[in-house]
């Protein structure tokens, strides 16, 4: 293996040097814990990476699958120009309500639309929309189904990013669980799909990014 294996000290160096997680984002995590919302939001460096990708491609329309309490949604919405918009899909009412509270606190309620319901069904209602950037971070079993539903909605030069694609190392297990099988299917699909160029970036728990041709 070439490169430097990451350890706690190196990770802290990267985050301390490059990642500005403000009080609002920190408070989302604190409030989530108090309200017993699972602490499965992306890590701050992952948030900064999504933010940068969105800026790099001048994205205006962002779709997120899996809002939780709005942590990643806020990172992404902050990267958008004034006329940009994030549409985020969430199945759990409790998460949706907390997300909306947080969008208000961030002053981003006009830039973010949350659609409540099962993402596979909600995606059928978005077939006339076009997106520059999609972030897939919901039920891992369905990750490749989400790719199939969104690939036809992408603008050329857009990016699809999918989270947890290392599955905390389980992608190389001999007997992967169902959720890991979903991720393995996703990674294989986007590695082989001729319509995209992809790479699994080993940031946090793995983020597979696909550039739409
Ligand atoms: C990992 S969390 C999302 C974390 C969020 N992206 C962040 O980093 O702040 C996954 C979210 O997807 C939601 N979810 C799970 N299955 C879903 C489905 N079928 N449709 C829509 N949302 C779903 C869960 O309720 C949960 O809030």
Q: What is the pLDDT of residues 38-58, one digit of tens each?
A: 999 999 999 999 999 999 999
118 Cβ inside 6 Å of ligand 1? yes
Would you call 89 helix, strand, or coil by DSSP?
A: strand
- Candidates 197, 172, 198; CA nearest to 183 is 172
The predicted pLDDT at position 145 comes to: 98
pLDDT in tens, 76-130: 999 999 999 999 999 999 999 999 999 999 999 999 999 999 999 999 999 999 9
Mutate to test the pocket of ligand 1, among 139, 141, 150 (most ligand atoms within 8 A of CB): 139
Distance between CA atoms of residues 94 and 99, nearest Å: 9
Which pTM value belongs to this model? 0.98
Distance between CA atoms of residues 137 and 151, nearest Å: 16
Rounded to the nearest 10 degrees, how much is the dihedral formed by the CA atoms of 206, 11, 43, 101? -170
The DSSP code for 118 is: -
Domains of the chain: 8-212 (3.40.50.150)
Backbone angles phi, psi at 109, to 5 degrees: -60, -25
Tokens of 39: 């602490």
Q: Which residues lie closer than 8 Å to 17 by C-beta, 6 or more apart?
A: none
Ordered alpha helix ranges (H), the chain? 8-18, 23-34, 44-56, 71-77, 93-105, 119-124, 143-150, 178-192
Distance, CA 14 to ligand 1 centroid (Å)?
27
The predicted pLDDT at position 181 comes to: 98
The predicted pLDDT at position 199 comes to: 98
Distance, CA 155 to ligand 1 centroid (Å)?
24
72 Cβ inside 6 Å of ligand 1? yes
Judge whether 95 and 71 are in contact, CB under 8 Å.
no
């Amino acid at each position: 293996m070439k490169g430097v294996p990451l350890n706690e000290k190196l990770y802290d160096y990267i985050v301390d040097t490059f990642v500005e997680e403000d009080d609002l984002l920190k408070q989302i995590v604190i409030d989530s814990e108090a309200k017993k919302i699972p602490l499965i939001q992306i890590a701050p460096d992952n948030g900064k990476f999504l933010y940068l990708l969105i800026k790099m491609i001048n994205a205006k329309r962002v779709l997120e699958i899996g809002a939780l309490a709005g942590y990643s949604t806020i990172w992404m919405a902050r990267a958008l120009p004034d006329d940009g918009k994030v549409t985020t899909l969430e199945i759990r009412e409790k998460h949706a309500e907390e997300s909306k509270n947080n969008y208000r606190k961030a002053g981003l309620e006009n830039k973010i639309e949350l659609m409540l319901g099962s993402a596979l069904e909600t995606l059928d209602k978005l077939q006339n929309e076009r997106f520059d950037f999609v972030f897939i971070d919901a039920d891992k079993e369905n990750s490749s189904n989400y790719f199939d539903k969104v690939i036809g909605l992408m603008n050329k030069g857009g990016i699809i990013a999918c989270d947890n694609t290392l599955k905390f190392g389980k992608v190389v297990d001999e007997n992967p669980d169902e959720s890991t099988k979903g991720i393995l299917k996703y990674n294989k699909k986007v590695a082989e799909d001729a319509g995209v160029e992809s790479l699994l970036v080993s940031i946090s728990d793995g983020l597979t990014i696909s550039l739409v041709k």
